[in-house]
């Protein structure tokens, strides 16, 4: 499988006032492999949505590089960027605000084709009808306005709008978070069917490890702008190799009442990204922290078929002590 999107040491900073800046994403290296569903998980403020926006080119990377199919996005011609914008699409969290209230369903879905100037009017209308049929929206709803649809129907329209350009990468940013549990399951199943039919690569962003674990092949865990663990979904859920992932997992199991051992309670709130803690950013909340954690920033190291950024990963989770720092291209990202 080839790498579709590669992020190399990507940071995204925003200016705050005249003199300071905040790092929403800091030094993230991550590959998105063609055909996979990559889950991106973390609490609010972890930087996962900013990272997704950087993947889509909606916010520029302050440092580092992003490449698409082996080609640097930064040096692409305007024409190539235009082509890329059709190949990478996003489905947002709030299905209502993502749609223009003045446009009928078929107009909203056709808009990306109009902007790209694809084909003639009849050809575009055929593509719109196909996309709406693929998401299961019956023809009698195609003429309606967003306020005349349910939340689930609106999210189907948003998915059709994202798919109508036949993208290769679909980024779903908390796309089911605003829906009730039954609708979440419906939309997740729909996305799984469409992924096969449209041969999509998917980045699925969520704060809910249960949802991500259900849909993703591989999961990347973010904390305060940095990547702290990556692994296959199965391994991550069965045997997390970072205290933060472990805490997320324990909270989820505790909520469902299936946990046999004690829940891990995280101390305090996520610190402000304006003043991230030195050393391991997670150390003020980590129950395993030692003195070195407050001064030494952990690197991602290969462990257990994935990677973990924890100074104590060998003591806590892995006895092999063969872990190697992940550096440069070709590591476990």
224 binds ligand SF4 (CB under 6 A): no
* Nearest-10 crossing angle of helices 151-163, 121-134: 130
Q: Report, in Å, the least distance between residue 21 CB and ligand SF4.
A: 24
Q: From the list 243, 273, 304, 306, which residue makes contact with ligand SF4 (rule: CB under 6 A)?
A: 243
- Identify the CA nearest to 301 among candidates 324, 321, 333: 324
Chain positions 244 to 283 lying near ligand SF4, rule: CB under 6 A, are: 280, 282-283
| Strand duo 169-173 + 201-206: pairing | parallel
Cα–Cα distances in Å, from 67 out to 7, 8, 84, 319?
Answer: 7, 8, 11, 36
Whichever of 163 and 311 has its CB closer to ligand SF4, that residue is 311
Angstrom distances, CA of residue 21 to CA of 27, 57, 62, 166, 322: 15, 20, 11, 37, 38
Q: Is 222 in the site for ligand SF4 (CB under 6 A)?
A: no
The DSSP string of 79-144 is HHHHHHHHHEEEE-S-TTTTS-TTS-HHHHHHHHHHHHT-S-HHHHHHHHHHHHHHTT--GGGTT-
If you ran DSSP here, which 8-state letter would residue 20 be given?
E
* The one among 38, 202, 311, 332 contacting ligand SF4 by CB under 6 A: 311
Q: Whose structure tokens read 């992932």?
A: 245
Per-residue binding string, ligand SF4, 276-305, x by CB under 6 A, is ----x-xx--x-xx---x----x-------
Cβ-based nearer residue to ligand SF4, 142 or 312: 312
The reply to whether 142 sits near ligand SF4 by the rule CB under 6 A is no
Least distance to ligand SF4, CB of residue 288, Å: 4
- Residue closer to ligand SF4 by CB (options 56, 310) is 310
Residue 219 as a binder of ligand SF4 (CB under 6 A): the answer is no
Nearer to ligand SF4, 311 or 326 (CB): 311
Contacts of 255 (CB under 8 A, 6+ apart): none
Nearest Cα residue to 94 out of 33, 155, 50, 142: 155
Least Å distance, CB 65 to ligand SF4, is 27
Residue 176 C-beta: closest distance to ligand SF4, Å: 29
Beta carbon nearer to ligand SF4, 160 or 280: 280
Q: How far is the CB of 260 from ligand SF4 (least distance, A)?
A: 23
Question: Least distance in Å: CB of 273 to ligand SF4?
Answer: 17
Stretches 4-12, 85-93, 124-132, 307-315: which one binds ligand SF4 (CB under 6 A)? 307-315
Q: Is 281 exposed, middle or buried (0-12, 13-18, 19+ CB in 10 A)?
A: buried
Structure-derived torsion over alpha carbons of residues 105, 111, 114, 120, reported in degrees to the nearest 10:
-20
How far from chain centre, in Å, is Cα 135? Answer: 21
If one asks whether residue 333 binds ligand SF4 (CB under 6 A), the answer comes out as: no
Is the CB of 13 or the CB of 283 nearer to ligand SF4?
A: 283
Interacting residue ranges for ligand SF4, rule: CB under 6 A: 243, 280, 282-283, 286, 288-289, 293, 298, 310-312
């Amino acid at each position: 499988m080839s790498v579709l999107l590669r992020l190399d040491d990507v940071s995204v900073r925003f200016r705050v006032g005249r003199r300071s800046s905040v790092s929403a994403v800091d030094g993230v290296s991550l590959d998105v492999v063609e055909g996979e569903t990559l889950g991106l998980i973390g609490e609010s403020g972890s930087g996962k949505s900013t990272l997704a926006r950087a993947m889509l080119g909606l916010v520029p990377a302050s440092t580092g590089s992003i490449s698409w199919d082996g080609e640097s996005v930064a040096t692409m011609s305007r024409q190539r960027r235009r082509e890329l914008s059709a190949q990478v699409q996003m489905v947002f969290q709030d299905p209502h605000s993502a749609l223009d209230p003045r446009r009928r369903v078929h107009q909203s879905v056709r808009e990306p084709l109009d902007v790209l100037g694809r084909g003639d009017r009849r050809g575009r209308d055929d593509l719109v009808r196909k996309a709406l049929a693929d998401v299961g929206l019956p023809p009698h709803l195609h003429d309606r306005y967003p306020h005349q649809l349910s939340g689930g129907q609106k999210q189907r329209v948003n998915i059709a709008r994202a798919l109508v350009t036949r993208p290769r990468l679909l980024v779903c940013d908390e796309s089911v978070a605003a829906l009730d549990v039954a609708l979440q399951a419906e939309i997740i199943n729909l996305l799984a069917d469409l992924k096969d039919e449209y041969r999509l690569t998917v980045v699925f962003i969520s704060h809910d490890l249960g949802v991500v674990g259900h849909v993703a092949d591989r999961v990347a865990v973010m904390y305060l702008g940095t990547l702290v663990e990556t692994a296959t979904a199965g391994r991550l859920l069965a045997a997390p190799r970072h205290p933060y992932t472990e805490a997320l997992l324990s909270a989820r199991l505790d909520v469902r009442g299936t946990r046999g051992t004690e829940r891990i309670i995280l101390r305090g709130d996520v610190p402000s990204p304006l003043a991230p803690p030195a050393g391991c950013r997670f150390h003020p909340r980590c129950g395993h922290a030692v003195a070195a954690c407050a001064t030494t920033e952990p690197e991602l190291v290969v462990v257990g078929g994935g990677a973990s950024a924890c100074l104590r990963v060998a003591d806590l989770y892995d006895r092999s002590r063969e872990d190697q720092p992940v550096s440069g291209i070709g590591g476990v990202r």
